[in-house]
Amino acid sequence: MMSSERRPPPSLHFGQVVIGPPGSGKTTYCQGMQDFLTQLGRKVVVVNMDPANDGLPYSCGVDISELVTLDDVMDGLKLGPNGGLLYCMEYVEANLDWLENKLKQHKDCYFLFDCPGQVELYTHQNSVKNIFSQLAKWNFRLTAVHLVDSHYCADPAKFISVLCTSLSTMLHVELPHVNVLSKMDLIEQYGKLAFNLDFYTEVMDLSYLLDHLAADPFFKKFRLLNEKIAEVIQDYSLVSFVPLNVQDKESMIQVLRAVDKANGCCFGNLEERNLQAMMSAAVGADFQFSSTLGVQERYLNTGGRTVEEEMMDL
């Protein structure tokens, strides 16, 4: 009989790709999550995927600016910032062997990919999507963490726009997805919320939001269009949000728990996956309502009344 050696199963690399509009707090999130995971005992590597991101506040394991920078592309090809960033990501896609060699230098690590903030990269341009697909072929199990400024909840029109962007990104990127309302401590900076926080995090009946939109003379004439947009969002029923304040430990735990369940990190590596681990994850699936109540009481001005008291009135 011929003796055949069993090959060890390929090791999995878990991590997050942090995406979102410019200024939504992606770099701050990566810095905070790196510190938080390090305290939990995980070996973390941050990968800067933004060729325009200079002056990084965190220690960077892999920096895409060693391959290409936005300033060089704009100067050399006479492109603007948007076209230059699209070219940069296409250049990265064409040189994935460079990225693979850099990532191979880090063994048994948890990866945070700090991605560019240009929205069209995640809604209808394919370079970043193809990079993510290649990472999956290299045994990376990633969750897309899509950050959105929480103060958009105070404006019904902006919130519906955020829902459309989030839905489009989820369908295009094709990764396990966690939408995050960032900067929760500033949520009422530009106005009070029309409803309780869970209305926005769970994306409840948007018809109530349309009534608020109709109060604006500009949006009143577009009511039918707004209704159809809201129907599309609700028909897919994919978008929900996890509230986040990077400086709040409990908030970081909620986000990390959602991310770990999405990419399978809570199940462990291949050799650690068993029924017990999966059942413990299933039993641990808690509803977000109680945690959302805590967030609302901490960051929203309710006139001195607790959320429980307001709900008793309802």
What strands, in cross-sheet order, belong to the sheet with 110-114?
62-63, 44-48, 110-114, 13-19, 140-149, 177-182, 241-243
The domain locations on the chain are: 13-150+174-190+240-266
CA 232 to chain centre: 21
Strand partners, 241: 179
Looking at CATH, the fold of the domain delimited by 13-150+174-190+240-266 is given as Rossmann fold (3.40.50)
How many other C-beta atoms lie within 10 A of the C-beta of residue 98?
15
Nearest to 47 by CA among 135, 149, 124, 177: 135
Q: What is the pLDDT of residue 39?
A: 92
Summarised one tens digit per residue, pLDDT across range 41-95 is 899 999 999 999 888 888 889 999 999 999 999 999 999 999 999 999 999 999 9
- Digit-by-digit pLDDT tens for the chain (314 residues) are 444 455 555 688 999 999 999 888 899 999 999 999 999 889 999 999 999 988 888 888 999 999 999 999 999 999 999 999 999 999 999 999 999 999 999 988 999 999 998 899 999 899 999 999 999 999 999 999 999 999 899 888 899 999 999 999 999 999 999 999 998 888 878 778 888 888 899 988 888 888 888 888 888 888 899 899 999 999 999 999 999 998 889 999 999 999 999 998 876 554 344 444 444 455 444 545 556 656 666 666 655 555 455 444 54
233 within 8 A of 159, measured Cβ to Cβ = no
Q: For the full predicted model, state whether its pTM sits above 0.75.
A: yes
**Phi, psi for 116 (deg, rounded to 5):** -65, 165
Long-range contacts, stretch 33-42, CB < 8 angstroms, 24+ apart: 33/112, 33/246, 33/252, 33/256, 34/58, 34/59, 34/112, 36/249, 36/252, 36/256, 37/110, 37/256, 42/110
**Phi, psi for 22 (deg, rounded to 5):** -60, 140
Burial code of 300-311, b = ≥16 C-beta within 10 A, e = fewer? Answer: eeeeeeebeeee
